[in-house]
């Protein structure tokens, strides 16, 4: 008799613990052989959108301007409020035309004691020239860079906010690179110089904020906010980090984002991840919106035009990228 009541008590207990699990609001994921269920936070696209908007409201974040300096302060104070530690790496670098640029890479770390780390990054500066604008009168106008710049940083700030609420198993570093988008205009007279893009990531790769810094892999976000964005498999990402790329694309497909993450090659883009791979040797992929039908060099429609403003930002795309990243981060052991 006694043994039966113990068994039924046990059964009731089990029943309740199951019910409690399945009623949890957070997304759950059971991966591989692991018995433990992982709680994956829900990415808040409204919050990410506000982070994008706030950056754009400073005006174009062109190096050596006040707008750029004020936005740097904002990004540092935000990242510092979410991360365990944060710092600004100030540097000087020379642009394609000889201009000395005052750059600031902004870095935040989560679980800094953990040797098992990943790196997430995006560039925060905006392009000084709309050299792909259909109207040549705009070719010297700085752009808002709502998609090209602010979108990746907005997604990463929301991820930083989530990391501050619940700790993942791994360590995470977030870097906002500066002076990415001061590359030589396609109609400039200075032709011939190489490596005029990604100046902030080139500096960091040669002068890391911590000389012993290591990460298992890196993920760069570039133009992750336009409606119906298409993320093709970028060439250098496949060349240096094919396994990681497939893992991220598979994760996106598993949670329903097949239309955004496309298993087709998209061409080679000389972006921040190229220098991290080539100079610092962390296998790093670029999640970048590529569009084969676009009038410019296969980038998103309003790339380097004055129309890259808040009107192109779509919350659903921010969510797709943010939720995919959160899933990758929280499933990492």
Smallest separation (angstroms) from Zn ion to the CB of 122: 12
Q: What is the 3-state secondary structure (H, E, C) of 130-172?
A: CCCCCCHHHCCCCCCCHHHHHHHHHHHHHHHHHHHHCCCCCEE
Q: Which of 155, 175, 208 is nearest to 328 (CA)?
A: 155
200 binds, among Zn ion, ligand AHN, none (CB under 5 to 8 A by kind): none
131 binds, among Zn ion, ligand AHN, none (CB under 5 to 8 A by kind): none
* Structure token digits, residue 253: 């497909």
Q: Which of 181, 271, 291, 314 binds Zn ion (CB under 5 A)?
A: 181
Taking CB under 5 A as the rule, does residue 178 contact Zn ion? no
Smallest separation (angstroms) from ligand AHN to the CB of 152: 9
270 binds, among Zn ion, ligand AHN, none (CB under 5 to 8 A by kind): ligand AHN
CB 272 within 8 A of CB 205: no
Taking CB under 5 A as the rule, does residue 234 contact Zn ion? no
222 binds, among ligand AHN, Zn ion, none (CB under 5 to 8 A by kind): ligand AHN
Q: Which is nearer to ligand AHN, 113 or 194 (CB)?
A: 194
Q: Which residues bind ligand AHN (CB under 6 A)?
A: 148, 181, 183, 197, 222, 269-271
Cα(13)–Cα(7) distance, rounded to whole angstroms? 10
261-265 and 231-233 strand pairing:
parallel
Q: Which of 182, 147, 176, 181 is nearest to 52 (CA)?
A: 147
Q: Which is nearer to Zn ion, 181 or 184 (CB)?
A: 181
Instruction: Give the footprint of Zn ion on this chain (CB under 5 A).
Output: 127, 148, 181
């Amino acid at each position: 008799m006694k043994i039966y009541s113990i068994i039924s008590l046990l059964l009731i207990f089990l029943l309740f613990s199951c019910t409690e699990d399945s009623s949890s609001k957070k997304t759950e994921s059971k991966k591989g052989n692991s018995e433990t269920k992982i709680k994956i936070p829900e990415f808040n696209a409204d919050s990410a959108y506000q982070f994008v908007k706030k950056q754009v409201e400073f005006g174009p974040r062109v190096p050596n301007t006040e707008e750029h300096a004020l936005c740097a302060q904002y990004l540092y104070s935000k990242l510092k409020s979410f991360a365990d530690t944060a710092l600004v790496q100030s540097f000087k670098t020379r642009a394609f035309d000889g201009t000395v640029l005052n750059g600031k890479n902004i870095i935040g770390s989560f679980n800094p004691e953990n040797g098992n780390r990943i790196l997430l990054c995006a560039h925060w500066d905006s392009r000084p020239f709309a050299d792909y604008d259909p109207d040549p009168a705009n070719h010297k106008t700085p752009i808002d860079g709502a998609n090209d710049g602010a979108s990746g940083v907005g997604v990463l700030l929301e991820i930083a906010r989530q990391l501050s609420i619940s700790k993942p198993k791994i360590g995470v570093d977030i870097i906002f690179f500066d002076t990415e988008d001061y590359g030589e205009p396609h109609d400039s007279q200075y032709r011939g110089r190489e490596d005029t893009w990604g100046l902030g990531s080139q500096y960091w790769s040669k002068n890391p904020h911590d000389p012993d810094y290591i990460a298992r892999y890196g993920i760069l976000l570039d133009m992750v906010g336009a409606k119906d964005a298409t993320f093709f498999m970028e060439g250098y990402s496949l060349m240096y980090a094919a396994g990681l790329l497939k893992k991220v694309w598979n994760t996106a497909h598993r949670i329903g984002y097949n239309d955004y993450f496309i298993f087709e090659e998209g061409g080679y883009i000389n972006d921040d991840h190229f220098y991290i791979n080539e100079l610092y040797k962390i296998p790093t992929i670029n999640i970048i919106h590529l569009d084969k039908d676009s009038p410019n060099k296969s980038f998103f429609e309003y790339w380097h035009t004055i129309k890259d403003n808040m009107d192109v930002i779509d919350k659903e795309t921010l969510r797709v990228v943010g939720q995919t990243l959160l899933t990758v981060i929280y499933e990492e052991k």
